[in-house]
Amino acid sequence: KTLPERFAPIVSLPRHLLQSASGFSMGGGKAASLVIGPKEGYAAIVDKGESLCNASLIQIFALSTMAGCFIGFGALLSLTISGNIDGALKCLGPGVGTWLFAALFP
């Protein structure tokens, strides 16, 4: 098996990104870099933009609704945790609760 085929079941990156992963020697075996470069990253963003331009209005509405729900769930989680933990963190100071809220919902 080639290197991208060996890592394909483990990593959920698109196949074109795995095929462009550069192989390098690291102490006795071949390893693949899973970090994509600027050229591949730009190409992936352009491909995503093209697919969204060709999407129907219903698909765009569904995707934006799911994105809004995802953001709302993150906000609800951060408010629930940071709002209910104030009593336990009063001995550490007021900044800890603010930091926790910012860490949960940047």
Give the DSSP letter string of 10-71.
T--S-HHHHHTPPEEE-SSSEEE-----HHHHHHHHHHHHHHHHTS-HHHHHHHHHHHHHHH
- The torsion angles phi and psi of 8, rounded to 5 degrees, stand at -60, -40
How many Å separate Cα 1 from the centre of its chain?
Answer: 29
Lowest-confidence segment of 37-41, 76-80, 86-90, 101-105 by average pLDDT? 86-90
Q: Is the pLDDT of residue 7 over 70?
A: no
Statement: residue 95 has pLDDT above 50: yes
Say what the pTM is: 0.50
Residue 11 has pLDDT above 50, yes or no: no
- Whole-Å CA distances, 76 to 80, 82, 86: 6, 10, 16
User: What pLDDT, on the 0 to 100 scale, is given for residue 1?
Assistant: 46
